[in-house]
Amino acid sequence: MTRSGHGVKTVFLDRDGVINVDSPDYIKTPEEFVFIPGSVDAIRRLTEKGFQIFVVTNQSLINRKMIPLETLDRIFDKMIDGIAAGGGCIREIFYCPHAPEERCECRKPNPGMILQASRKYGLDLSQAAMVGDSAKDIRCGRNAGVALSVLVKTGNGDKALQTLLSSDGPPDHVAANLYDAATWIIHRMTDL
């Protein structure tokens, strides 16, 4: 792996099931957005260690007309405010509003959101990690060329691990939750 000239390391985070408690009915209001214990502290630790943090999330409930964009913005505001209050920083949120049948380039497992962030911010993806709770998240990171993929067991992690083991192979690391993932990334990425 090549060391980037600027040395800035990046972490891409899925949202539902990684930062907040997921729901099979989607997160449709700010009130339904509840942080997973330890996720705010994890983002604070990554921020303090100098990582740039981006959220990359499929939000097809927009194009499915389940909620208006203004409501999604309010949910994102609640997340950003809660993370900031805990000492962390999300550089930007990239989201895909499309339903699977729209076959866009941004819906995970396609790498569009990560590649968009990389172009916008001049990121070195050999200095980046993707953290998610689904096979789509891990495949997205691999499709984009990030250095490390981490599966968290919150959300859909157990099911995703079985899917990956039977098809693509395991992620670089399996963590109990985002806090454990952040700890591993901090130690591991000092070697990249």
For residue 32, CA distances in Å to 66, 133, 191 come to: 14, 19, 38
Angle between helices 178-189 and 39-48 (to 10 degrees): 20
Tell me whether residue 16 is one of the annotated catalytic residues: yes
Tell me whether residue 158 is one of the annotated catalytic residues: no
**Cβ–Cβ contacts within 10 Å for residue 29, how many?**
12
| Catalytic entry in 14, 22, 124, 180 | 14
d(CA 1, CA 126): 6
Supply the Cα-derived Rg of the chain in whole angstroms. 15
What residue type is 48 in one-letter code? E
> Which of the residues are catalytic?
14, 16
